[in-house]
Structure 1
Amino acid sequence: MSSAAFLAVALLSLQASAFPKSDEPAILRRACPDYTSYASTLHAPYSGGPLNLPYQRPTEACRTFSSPAVEKVIEDVTSRLVDKDLAQLFRNAFPNTLDTTIRWHTNGSASSANSKRDGAQWTGVHTFIVTGDINAEWLRDSTNQLTNYQTLAAKDKNLYSLILGAINTQSEFVIQSPYCNAFQPPSASGIKPEDSTQKDTVHPTYEPSFVFECKYELDSLAHFLQLGTEFYENTGSTEFVTDRWYKALQTVLKTIDAQSQPTFNSSNQFVPNEYTFQRETTIGTETLNLAGVGNPLNSGTGLIRSAFRPSDDATILGFFIPPNAMMSVQLQKTAKVVKAAGGPASLVAELQERGTKLEKAVHEHGIVQHPKYGDVYAFEVDGYGSRILMDDANIPSLLSLPYLGFVDRSDRVYQNTRKMITDKASNPYYLEGPQFHGIGGPHIGLENAWPMSLLVQAMTSDDDNEIIGNLNLVRNSSLHGLIHESIDVSNIKSYTRPWFAWANSVFAQTVLKIAAERPHLIFGEDAKPYTP
């Protein structure tokens, strides 16, 4: 923070007694610097390690949420880490979502006028979480941003409330606009909607003051389910299983049914898809071809269409395998949640059956022959025999299949796939350069690999050298003390997005996984495992 900003915060602190207590945080935050700018510059105290990484947490008065449980984990882990630069990176990354992205959290009730305006019900506990440098909430990003805190929710009532509120808010988003991926601040929050310069033609239509972007991504719906299943698995609570959550769940099921339909009916007549998307753009991955429908998909696969990938890039062949795998896992996990909540036995059976059938469909249609690696998972298929062989850094990906809980990392087909997608000769988006390497994707271009892919590679590996090698490569390319979206493989000082909360969360998750399973790699020989 600049000296001027520090002085402003100090002055406001002295004046705070003139205002009602509830207004103090908002008043103080008005003097806080824009975090995108803050994250782009270096701040003391520095790590003292070879890289001398900066300290990038905002001052306490400027943090958007606090948790004693999170602070304890930071102290526990950083005090044991041998590598001072790695410790500084964890210190900055683990709390980044809480420090910078909680735009609205309430335990109270919203006004009925606001609720009526956007059709949602904003009563009770709600949380709005932005992705970072864009003031909108992605279902996928926000779920992953909270994953690290799920394990602490049972011991920290504030985190419990935060995550419960996030589930309730996502439920409202899904009920109103299940085909959309990113959302505006709830009307009840009083936060002004973010302006979008995009010119989109989308069906079904949506309300721009409610939706920031409406790209239909199957993984967004799977991530909504995951937010609830993770909460249940870590707290044992089914408090989120309300009438609104059930309505959101039924909306998910209705949507995936609509997106399981082929392009042509049994009489070989074209049937328009319920969802179409066209954008005025010069970038091919930002829109769908064939008047917004996308390429034809065959019948009888049992797979679910996804118009876009988790990178927000358009799919080429709509049966995108990674989110289908993820959805199969989450449907089966959601069956357990509904059962634990005392929900209808018929719904429990339906969810289990849907998940099992989808898992079978992924195996049947997603596994194809590669000339070098044998049986592998395709990235996308169309049911006609066409397939795309590649991987993208964003989760869900083929690399992340064990991370998603779909396969064991020792699975033969997964291991074949892993070899394929980390081979430049087989995966066009495995990018290598003199300073960095890893899986990238078309979203940024042909020179930038994503740290997230290296972190997923570490979390799905049994090889100590691969794990620590990838972790160190991410450390060495995070010179601003935070994890970036992508890195130029020829120049690690060239990156995209100084503030990308999801990437910071994945880094912290990787460190915590290593601490629990392979502590000797980061804490030293004979170190005991650490679990928060």
Structure 2
Amino acid sequence: MLPTRHLKRTSRNGDRIYLIPMLSLVLVLVIVIIWVGNHHPTPSYVSAAERFHHQHAGKAAGQDPSTLEGTSSGVENHHSGHVHSSFAFQGLPMRKHVEGLPEIWARGPPSMNTSISSAETPSTLVNSTTLLQLKELCGRCLYRTLTSYVRMHDFGRIAVVLTGDIPAMWTRDSAVQVASYLPRVHRRPALRTVVEGAIRAQAYFILQDPWANAYNPTFVSTYSLPKQDRILGRGGWVWTRNFELDSVAYFFNFLWNYHQTKGLWSPSALLSETGVHDAVVTLLQLLEVEQHHEERSPYRYSELKRDGLGPPCGYTGMIWSAFRPSDDPQTYSFNIPSNMYTVGALHRLLLLNAAVWQDPYIHDTATRLSVEIHEGIKVFGIVEVEPGIKMYAYEVDGLGGKLVDFDDPNLPSLLAIPLLGYDQFEKEVYSVTRDRILSKANNYYYEGKILHGMGSPHTSHNMVWPLATAVEALTTNSTAKQSELLKMILEMASGNGLVHESVNVDTPQHFTRAEFGWANAMAVVAVEQLLGVDCDEEAERHRLKVIMEYESKEPGRVPNGGQDSHQYYSQLEASIPHV
């Protein structure tokens, strides 16, 4: 600190000011700063993609990553490779407001979004009994995840969202499971903590292992697991380490859905948290690596061919993936609907970046990848199945191998292309694709006495998936077909009153997975979007009915001497599990 005597007037010398010592000191400091700037060696940096590649490649080769030049054994922050300042993003204007709707599963009923037209809905085509049954189903499913599968930690800062009857959190499933709560935050503010907690949990898990698809609700010591689990990369926070490209896109889109929810105060605050930003960057780095899987990827999975590398593939510009959204291994290395979903997610990520992060790496990488993946889809993803007839393949390998006349009911799927945010799809090619996969040309399309629809190699013969039925209803322009499919969803819920993974086409009481949060959520989306109803009222009616049925089993005197009433008991928010 400078001596104060040189900054004051002195009574002894009148108006004389002693500035010479101060000016001299400032001059010396300026000279020193200039000399240091010209002579101090500039640090040698390695780019973010190179750091990511070298770090994980070293692990794959058995090399200690800390011995690689320019790397460390921990997660690297990409900013070490460039200056992050207001000058680093010149030419890319910051946009406080971003136009664009959330994904369809995050919009709520049309009444919550005035930008969606209120055209004729199937409610005019179903009788009052069917309409009531569909609303009751929607009411049972709406908050099922909230009250049964959510696990809140640290007073709501973290929310682990289990998939249902499997005690793990899938990135894909959980993003959709809580999406229907976003448009309801203005009614129930506590829902915001659930959604934000789920985003933080996903970001945290991604930073632990970005190749994993599902995570443990609590930390599991690796060596407490048997060898058969350890050799599959399980342990710690990882439930399953199946690299599924769609998980990356779901995380990006989850951030978009949150940011684009109407009425949220300062959504950029959550997205600006370091964990969320770093998860985005980590996934972009992963996409860069897996675009060149054969040459660069450190990912190995012990059930895949060629010592865990997977089946041979060529470069296509698309992103390599090992497993489908069904968790089944891919036949060929490039899943077309997952790459489409990734392109849509990257476009949304660019808009988020302009509004929130202003990060040159995110901008440049998302821009380049979206272009190259799209080109790969056009060149390799559209195939001729008959003379003059083209359709989208489900998977390709870039070497001539292709899987056609096939789709899987899990999203993203070929059937769901209009819902994926991939605006560049060719409508005529999609129309042909849709017709073929919803026919006997697809070996996994089943028809029975009661139900018909799309099945999967993941389940047995003649088992159709409600997920695909909901998507078929959401992507047809025929209101009569929508009504037919909604009635079918009712039949599919005839087991325990909830929506399941798969249902037998002849005996709907035979199903797989009694508790499947993703399917419940998609049933809510289908009912609200297609019937134009808001299921909140029915959900509350169902909740209060359950309360009174329970309380009636334990009669007791009401303190005021009046009748027992549901108004005396706890609110919905008290049913959110905390651990």
TM-score by length of 2: 0.66
Counterparts of 1:344 and 1:272, CA distance in 2: 25
Match of 2:407 in 1: 391
Q: Which moved more, 1:235-244 or 1:415-424?
A: 235-244
In the TM superposition, residue 352 of structure 1 has moved relative to its aligned partner by: 2.9
Q: Residues 97 and 249 (structure 1 numbering): CA distance in 2 closer, same or farther, change over 3 Å?
A: same
Q: Residues 105 and 94 (structure 1 numbering): CA distance in 2 closer, same or farther, change over 3 Å?
A: same
Counterparts of 1:351 and 1:140, CA distance in 2: 20
Residue ranges of structure 1 left out of the alignment (5+ in a row): 1-68, 109-124, 264-270, 279-286, 520-532
Query: Which of 192, 205, 219 is the matching residue for 1:173?
Result: 205
Counterparts of 2:148 and 2:487, CA distance in 1: 25
Match of 1:503 in 2: 519
| Contact persistence 1:81–1:87 (CA under 8 A) | no
Match of 1:238 in 2: 268
Q: Given the alignment of the two structures, is residue 128 of structure 1 paired with residue 155 of structure 2, yes or no?
A: no
1:184 partner SS: strand
Match of 1:432 in 2: 447
Match of 1:261 in 2: 292
| Contact persistence 2:134–2:527 (CA under 8 A) | no
| Contact persistence 1:88–1:481 (CA under 8 A) | no
Q: Residues 342 and 177 (structure 1 numbering): CA distance in 2 closer, same or farther, change over 3 Å?
A: closer
Query: Which of 412, 416, 440 is the matching residue for 1:400?
Result: 416
In the TM superposition, residue 106 of structure 1 has moved relative to its aligned partner by: 3.2
Q: Which moved more, 1:476-485 or 1:307-316?
A: 476-485
Q: Residues 192 and 514 (structure 1 numbering): CA distance in 2 closer, same or farther, change over 3 Å?
A: farther
2:205 partner SS: helix
Query: Which of 173, 182, 199 is the matching residue for 1:141?
Result: 173
Match of 1:358 in 2: 373
Correspondence 1:51-66 to 2 at 5 A: none
Correspondence 1:17-416 to 2 at 5 A: 83-107=131-155, 125-187=157-219, 199-200=228-229, 205=233, 208-235=235-262, 237-241=267-271, 242-263=273-294, 271=295, 273-278=297-302, 287-299=303-315, 301-345=316-360, 347-371=362-386, 374-389=389-404, 390-407=406-423, 411-416=427-432
| Contact persistence 2:344–2:423 (CA under 8 A) | no
Q: Residues 173 and 262 (structure 1 numbering): CA distance in 2 closer, same or farther, change over 3 Å?
A: closer
Match of 1:44 in 2: none
Counterparts of 1:93 and 1:373, CA distance in 2: 45
In the TM superposition, residue 359 of structure 1 has moved relative to its aligned partner by: 2.2
Counterparts of 2:527 and 2:425, CA distance in 1: 18
In the TM superposition, residue 198 of structure 1 has moved relative to its aligned partner by: 8.0
| Contact persistence 2:289–2:296 (CA under 8 A) | no
| Contact persistence 1:441–1:449 (CA under 8 A) | yes
In the TM superposition, residue 474 of structure 1 has moved relative to its aligned partner by: 1.3
Counterparts of 1:196 and 1:311, CA distance in 2: 24
Counterparts of 1:362 and 1:410, CA distance in 2: 11
In the TM superposition, residue 197 of structure 1 has moved relative to its aligned partner by: 6.7
1:457 partner SS: helix
Q: Residues 197 and 139 (structure 1 numbering): CA distance in 2 closer, same or farther, change over 3 Å?
A: farther
Correspondence 1:421-500 to 2 at 5 A: 421-424=437-440, 426-479=441-494, 480-500=496-516
Q: How many pairs does the alignment contain? A: 407
1:83 partner SS: helix
| Contact persistence 1:137–1:182 (CA under 8 A) | yes
| Contact persistence 1:202–1:275 (CA under 8 A) | no
Amino acid at match of 2:199: I
Counterparts of 1:133 and 1:346, CA distance in 2: 39
Deviation readout 1:204-259 (Å, 9 max, x if unpaired): x56x1311111111111111111111101114622222211121111101211221
Counterparts of 2:225 and 2:490, CA distance in 1: 34
Aligned sequence identity (%): 29
| Contact persistence 1:105–1:162 (CA under 8 A) | no
Counterparts of 2:225 and 2:172, CA distance in 1: 20
Amino acid at match of 1:364: V
Counterparts of 2:136 and 2:452, CA distance in 1: 23
Q: Residues 209 and 477 (structure 1 numbering): CA distance in 2 closer, same or farther, change over 3 Å?
A: same
Counterparts of 1:87 and 1:515, CA distance in 2: 9
TM-score by length of 1: 0.71
Counterparts of 1:250 and 1:410, CA distance in 2: 30
| Contact persistence 2:393–2:402 (CA under 8 A) | yes
Q: Which moved more, 1:231-240 or 1:414-423?
A: 231-240
| Contact persistence 1:217–1:310 (CA under 8 A) | yes
Larger relative contact order (CA 8 Å, sep ≥ 6):
2
Q: Residues 232 and 277 (structure 1 numbering): CA distance in 2 closer, same or farther, change over 3 Å?
A: same
| Contact persistence 1:303–1:358 (CA under 8 A) | yes
Amino acid at match of 2:326: S
Match of 1:512 in 2: 528
Counterparts of 1:493 and 1:210, CA distance in 2: 35
| Contact persistence 2:259–2:268 (CA under 8 A) | yes
2:301 partner SS: strand
Residue ranges of structure 2 left out of the alignment (5+ in a row): 1-107, 113-122, 536-579
Counterparts of 2:230 and 2:193, CA distance in 1: 37
Amino acid at match of 1:451: P
1:225 partner SS: helix
Q: Which moved more, 1:448-457 or 1:359-368?
A: 359-368
Q: Which moved more, 1:144-153 or 1:174-183?
A: 144-153
Counterparts of 1:325 and 1:153, CA distance in 2: 30
1:402 partner SS: helix
